Amino acid sequence: MRSIQRRLGLGLAGTLLLVGLILAQASLWVFDRGLRTYLEGDLRDEAQGLLAALVRGPAGLQLDERRLDPSFQRQFSGHYFRIDFSDRSWRSRSLWDRELLKPDGLGMQTELGDGPQGQRLLIYRADYRRYGENLSISVAMDYQPILQSFRRMQWLGLGLGGAALLLILIAQRYTVRRALRPLEQVRQQIVQLQQGCRTDLDAEVPEELESLVAQINHLLAHTEDTLKRSRNALGNLGHALKTPLAVLISLAGREELAAHPALRASMREQLEQIEQRLSRELGRARLAGEALPGARFDCAQELPGLFATLAMIHDRGLSLDWQAPAGLVLPRDREDLLELLGNLLDNACKWAEQKVQLTVEESAEGYRLSVDDDGPGIDAERREAVLGRGTRLDEQVAGHGLGLGIVRDIIEAWNGRIELQDSPLGGLRVMVSLPRR
């Protein structure tokens, strides 16, 4: 879709051009009509002057050339006449050997006539009676210089109009840019919302944008409230289930079930899996914290807090360390990365003996996140099955409980990949590779 500014510019240019052409043409037409009306009076006076120059002579009517305008005597001067009698006609010497056609109607002729040397003639005709004889006098003047002046005025008008149109378009472009600047500011604020740098849009906007900004802020507040209530409900549900779950685990160990060892073992195993899953989900909620939606992941700001939380969750003297380039900001959603790294590091802490290491590296292709531990690791032949779609490690290897399903979904959404390798620390290395975008 074309930009609003371009559409406004084209619309304004087309409108101004159309209106300008109509006004220019109308102005020239009005000026031409007025000029012809003015010249009609001059031609009428010349016709009457020719009538006065007709005098009675020895052979009848004759033309007193002393009374004629000198232009009628000069060759192709642009002033011509023709006098028609019932049996003869006279014409001015200025026509030389050319003819001036007698007009059909009286008065100023609507159409221009053809004159000598390509001239365009404005012709006036009047009928008179002189000394008892009927005659018709046609007077013409060259209108071509005036037509040429009109054409020069048209070109001059087009030039001035084009320059004025250009100035108007420049002014309109500047005005539209200033008018759309609040929209650009809103767009930048929305980008900041996406990056998690702010929680709402500034309400100080032009009145045309007030309803839009107010609606967006209302939607943001509603979304934040919904997410907060969902997070609180999840936490409340988890804490509410922990007590009855502990009671069930205690009941599963009672002596009444000693006569059913298989049933007791099955109940304890299922209850322990529920407890593990519940603890893991509550731990993920604690790791995510109150992250702003869309915030970027600044390693120097986020990793210390993440590792401090892990140290509190796994309070057994583990050595937790991380390495990342100074000032590195991963262009991914902060909450998603906290969930991804929190999940991987949480599981690494569960099976590590003494040490867990996170390494973040940047390359031309993208980013590489490596989580190493010194635990028992995973056999090479089982790694492919662990990463298979719809397969969970805790279903493949009893007791591990890595829960790679959520991690795999996040990585696939980012077009990345995950690999399981041998760690230099002796346990498992989980390698996550992410493209730049």
Give the pLDDT confidence score for residue 402 in this predicted structure.
45
Chain CA centroid to CA 331, Å: 24
Task: Indicate if the pLDDT at residue 237 is higher than 60.
Answer: yes
pLDDT (tens digit, 9 = 90+) per residue, 273-290? 787 777 766 655 554 555
Identical topology for domains 4-148 and 296-435: no
Average pLDDT of the residues in 287-312 = 76
Give the pLDDT confidence score for residue 234 in this predicted structure.
72
Please give the CATH superfamily to which domain 296-435 belongs: Histidine kinase-like ATPase, C-terminal domain (3.30.565.10)
Rounded Cα gap, residues 267 and 248, in angstroms? 9
Residue spans of the domains in the chain: they are 4-148, 209-288, 296-435
Beta-bridge partner residues of 321: 357
Phi/psi of residue 123, each to 5°? -115, 135
Rounded Cα gap, residues 5 and 230, in angstroms? 43
Question: Angle 70-76-82 (CA atoms, 0-180°, nearest 5)?
Answer: 70
User: Shortest CA distance to 123 belongs to which of 132, 133, 112?
Assistant: 112
pLDDT (tens digit, 9 = 90+) per residue, 412-428? 888 899 989 999 999 99
pLDDT (tens digit, 9 = 90+) per residue, 74-114? 888 888 898 988 888 888 888 888 888 888 888 888 888 88
Task: Indicate if the pLDDT at residue 195 is higher than 70.
Answer: no
pLDDT (tens digit, 9 = 90+) per residue, 139-178? 999 888 888 888 888 888 888 888 888 888 888 888 878 8
Task: Indicate if the pLDDT at residue 340 is higher than 60.
Answer: yes
Give the pLDDT confidence score for residue 405 in this predicted structure.
67
pLDDT (tens digit, 9 = 90+) per residue, 196-234? 677 788 888 888 888 888 888 888 888 877 877 777 777
Average pLDDT of the residues in 362-375 = 92
What is the domain class of 4-148 according to CATH? alpha beta
